[in-house]
Structure 1
Amino acid sequence: MEERHVGRSGLLVSRLALGTMTWGQDTVPDEAAAQLSAFVDAGGTLVDTADVYCDGDSERILGHLMRELVGREDLVLATKSGIRPDGRYDGSRRHLIAALDASLDRLGVEHVDLWQLHVHDPATPLEETLSALDEAVASGRTRYVGVSNYTGWQVAKAAAWQRAWPGRAPVVSVQAEYSLLSRDVEREVVPAAVDAGAGLLPWSPLGRGVLTGKYRTGIPAGSRAASTAFAEFVQPYLDEECARIVESVVTAAEGLGVSPLSVALAWIRDRPGVAAPVVGARTAAQLAQALGSEALTLPHEIRAALDDVSDMAPAHP
């Protein structure tokens, strides 16, 4: 698998990241082990988790696998903090540092490679939140820092604040939902990240699974849209406009002799500013399909057609 730098930083990662949001819930430990093994065997390095994923079980499972299956040195380890177990946002220095320490304990490591603010907390001054990033880097708890689910102005403000004084930890990454079905981040988040020199780590790059084409004729049993936990998450992308985009992806896939999943991943992987899409598979078989996209580079004509069919309506300003 090819590697890329995250933005203008020195952090080098595989151009596909392994997401672990379902580890400990939909993905049992044995499946997680199979996923991680296949990912590393394919040359993958960047693994993304968070303290709230499955009540911490995602980090616990990943920590166990780093001790028993894959060496810590083989991974670029990323986690996130900023959401309390009850769902409340908390960007206070007190919560963030305590949350990072708890993550390190669950992972069984002394440091992570990338620590990200999971969300923006409007109740806490941003400069206080960002001071936690500085402490985490200065103390050796993390090597790099980033933000997640920030708006464009929040990305710009955070990046500018961190650049304003020597010794502050620069924002090197921005996580955001981004796919052929969700391009609104191109209005402000993507330009803000590129301007700040931060690499994009798109989450849900397959449009919450819809871009695989599995919902074209209905909702399959066992799919996320059929589950009580994820039905509302998938539903927004089951409308007519999204269906039209999916059909274009399927047509392109048929013409290239590959899967719709590979087309959708190749499109997002090679968008300006993207470092690595974060793919969260429930099974090793699903991950294998995603890893198969590595060999695909979309022809210019197909990329242009997909750009056109998924383009956003003009906005003001």
Structure 2
Amino acid sequence: MEYLHVQGLNKPVSRLMKGSDYFFHNVYDKAAANLDAFFAIGGNSIDTAHIYCGGQSEEVIGRYMKERGNREQWIVLTKGAHHDQNGPRVSREAIRSDLKDSLDRLQFDYIDMYALHRDDPAVPAGEVIEALNEHIASGAVRSIGVSNWSWQRIQEANEYAAANGLVGFSFSSPNLSLAKANEPFWTGCVSADEETCAWHEANQIPLFSWSSQARGFFTGRFSPEDRTNEDLVRVFYSEDNWERLERAKQLGERKNVTAIQIALAYVLNQPFPTSALIGAQSLEELRSCDEGSRIILTKEELEWLDLSSDKK
């Protein structure tokens, strides 16, 4: 397992990050077994959120780590300030309330990495930085970041932090995958485009990609004729993405790996620090991700896979 460094943490972060959006109490044994298996291959980072499973995801993680006695061996990323039925909730009070809930559910004294789940461009970035720095100062949070923010907003926030002696955002978590999204998967979501990737390369700020394998698009289970999965059709069905799938298959055959492993390697071979959130729920899926994380792709292969070299 490879690792990366995140500002504010004294432990390395595994470049495969375990997803937990299926961690309900009634599948606790399955979730615990998944975490044991992930930890056994060197994984030490897990992604959760205040809204996942109605709070059960955080509770399951907290129970697991308390039972195993291994809290200090893990890096936990949780997210808050997601919008509700009334709209955006990026405010000092929403952050405080959600963070308290998360700490209570996890049974932790601190969160390793805390991110805002959505943005509200109407709120000045400096106000958000001021609010989050209160929780860094209290010791409740070690490192701060964002999910589904534009690079322009992150830069604005970090410039404010630098000018005012405060801690800025140390990571970002948009979607990044070989399959390019036609539209947001959920309202307010952000996918990393060429400008975003160029900004991450210039600043070397870690990117934690959700839906890093395009929600199964590269498994071979789908075809242009199969339109049963409405969300996948809406977000990822396009002529360019079918061509990217075909190229992933071809390159996989040459390297004796699968197309979905090539898709994972695409995320992990970017010219800036990346971690891929994975939803592996079986030993076979976990093994596939572990093997995919070890694949080396050249710059030329990356550009051929995502069709960017076709435009030169």
TM-score normalised by length of structure 2:
0.87
Q: Which moved more, 1:195-204 or 1:101-110?
A: 195-204
Q: Distance in 2 between matches of 1:293 and 1:22?
A: 23
Query: Which residue pairs with 1:308 in the alignment?
Result: 304
C-alpha contact 2:45 2:76 (8 A) present in aligned 1: yes
Indicate the structure whose relative CO is greater, using CA pairs within 8 Å and at least 6 residues apart. 1
| Alpha-carbon distance in 1 for matches of 2:283, 2:84 | 28
The AA in structure 2 aligned to 1:18 is K
Q: Does 1:207 align with 2:214?
A: yes
Q: How far apart, CA to CA, are the structure 2 residues paired with 1:80 and 1:234? A: 28
Q: Which runs of 5+ in 1 are unaligned?
A: 220-224
Secondary structure (helix, strand or coil) at the match of 2:274 reads: coil
Q: 2:22 matched to which residue of 1?
A: 22
CA positional deviation for 1:87: 7.5
Aligned residue pairs, count? 302
Say whether the 8 Å CA contact 1:3–1:15 is kept in structure 2: yes
| Contact persistence 2:267–2:274 (CA under 8 A) | no
Cα RMSD for the two superposed structures: 2.7
Contact 1:163 1:170 in 2 (8 A): yes
Q: Is the 8 A contact 2:9 2:112 kept in 1?
A: no
| Structure 1 position 306, deviation (Å) | 4.3
> Where does residue 186 of structure 2 map in the other structure?
none
Q: What is the CA–CA distance in structure 1 between the aligned matches of 2:10 and 2:272, rounded to whole Å?
A: 15
Within 1, Cα distance between the matches of 2:8 and 2:197?
14
Per-residue CA deviation, residues 10-60 of structure 1 (Å, 9 max, x unaligned), is 6521121111123229x9322211211111000011111111112111111
Give the one of 177, 185, 199 matched to 1:192.
199
Q: Which residue of 2 aligns with 1:48?
A: 47
Instruction: Within 5 Å, give how 1:43-122 maps onto structure 2.
Output: 43-69=42-68, 71-86=70-85, 88-122=87-121
Give unpaired runs (5+ residues) of structure 2: 182-190
In structure 2, the partner of 1:3 is 3
Task: Report Cα offsets for 1:108-148 as digits up to 9, x if no partner.
Answer: 11111100111111343322222221011101111111111
- Aligned equivalent of 2:176: 178
* Counterpart residue identity of residue 5, structure 2: H
- The separation in 1 between residues aligned to 2:7 and 2:310, in whole angstroms, is 28
**CA distance 1:87–1:64, change in 2 (3 Å):** farther
Cα pair 2:14 2:45 within 8 Å, conserved: yes
Contact 1:5 1:275 in 2 (8 A): no
Structure 2 match to 1:138: 137
Q: Partners in 2 of 1:235 and 1:109 — Cα distance? A: 39
Match for residue 274 of structure 1?
273
Percent same amino acid among aligned pairs? 29
Task: Note closer, same or farther for the CA distance 1:171–1:32 as it changes in structure 2 (3 Å cut).
Answer: same
TM-fit CA distance, 1:271: 0.2
1:258 aligns with 2:265: no
Letter in 1 for 2:212: P
What are the Cα deviations for residues 158-187 of structure 1, in whole angstroms up to 9, with x where unaligned? 111111112x12211011110111386243
Q: TM-score, normalised by structure 1?
A: 0.86
Whether contact under 8 Å (1:190, 1:200) holds in the other structure is no
Inter-CA distance 11–186: structure 2 relative to 1 (3 Å threshold): farther
Aligned AA for 1:169?
V
Task: Using the TM superposition, give the Cα deviation of residue 309 of structure 1 relative to its aligned residue in structure 2, in angstroms.
Answer: 4.2
CA contact (8 A) 2:65 2:71 kept: yes
